[in-house]
Structure 1
Amino acid sequence: MIVAGIGCRPDITTDALLSLVQRVSAGHSLARLAAPVFRKGEPSISALAKILGVELVWISAQDMAERQVECETHSAVAFEKTGFSSVAEACALAGAGSKSRLLIARQSNRDVTCALAISSDRTRIENG
């Protein structure tokens, strides 16, 4: 199972989310979208899951905290604003389950980040 984890600023548009998620997930079959619970009020995230036709899971702060050590990229700005230095990667990892690993590290657009994680034992693919 492949999961796209996202991070975003408040009031993000569905188009901004869709653009990055489609770019990052090109060539992969997404099963799930994972987003931080502190963005649960963002209607664009739910809209994105519907457009993509995937399950949406909300990742708790505790689950994100537990996966921070496995994240490959870290942002001081994200930490300042959310308390987490890696939102998209932590969400992807937590959303894909306890034995997951990153498939594609965090990629970003202006106001959105996206990472992919996989729950099987496939090897990591570098994003070129």
Structure 2
Amino acid sequence: MNRIVAAGLGCRRHCSAEEIAALVRQALAQVDLAPGDLTGLFAPAFKQGESGLAAAALALGVPLVLMPDAALKGAEPRALTRSERVVALTGLGSVAETAALAGAGERSRLLQARLASANATCAIAVSE
């Protein structure tokens, strides 16, 4: 089985693909990984229709996978970051971390906790 390297993402509405892709590259670099190591971008299903996410995935050459709420909730206990503001908005303690963990699978772990730019967040998780 190949290792899954998942970039979990959260973003404000209409966040640009350039900002998202730059943040993903920064998060990967923090853990000595390259964009070529990435399996995919993972975001909550409620982000469907955010063109910046789809365009960032295309620019990075990986699929965008929208994760259902149940998968995000299942991964939430393994997240390291919790924002009460994000809980109030989404019901999740950390959108990026839960998306990364859900995307990398049940036995995954965070390599990079949530990083934030002006309009996006990114976390990196890897399957075990």
User: 1:10: which partner in 2?
Assistant: 13
List structure 1 segments (4+ residues) > 6 angstroms apart after TM superposition.
none
TM-score (norm 1): 0.89
Deviation at 1:34, TM superposition (A): 0.3
Amino acid in the other structure paired with 2:18: D
Which of the residues 13, 25, 29 maps onto 1:22? 25
Q: Could you give the per-residue CA deviations for residues 44-101 of structure 1, whole angstroms, max 9, x where no partner exists?
A: 1111111101122111111111111110001111112111111000000010111111
Amino acid in the other structure paired with 2:38: L
Task: Report the Cα distance in structure 1 between the residues aligned to 2:76 and 2:39, rounded to whole angstroms.
Answer: 22
Deviation at 1:113, TM superposition (A): 0.6
Where do 5+ consecutive residues of structure 1 fail to align? 121-128
Alignment of 1:1-128 (within 5 A): 1-26=4-29, 27-28=32-33, 29-120=37-128
Which piece of structure 1 moves more, 36-45 or 23-32?
A: 23-32
TM-score (norm 2): 0.89
Task: Report the Cα distance in structure 2 between the residues aligned to 1:45 and 1:111, rounded to whole angstroms.
Answer: 12
Amino acid in the other structure paired with 2:112: I
Q: Percent identity?
A: 39
Task: Report the Cα distance in structure 1 between the residues aligned to 2:60 and 2:66, rounded to whole angstroms.
Answer: 16
> How many residues are aligned here?
120
Where do 5+ consecutive residues of structure 2 fail to align? none
Cα RMSD of the aligned pairs, angstroms, is 1.0
Task: Report the Cα distance in structure 2 between the residues aligned to 1:79 and 1:11, rounded to whole angstroms.
Answer: 21
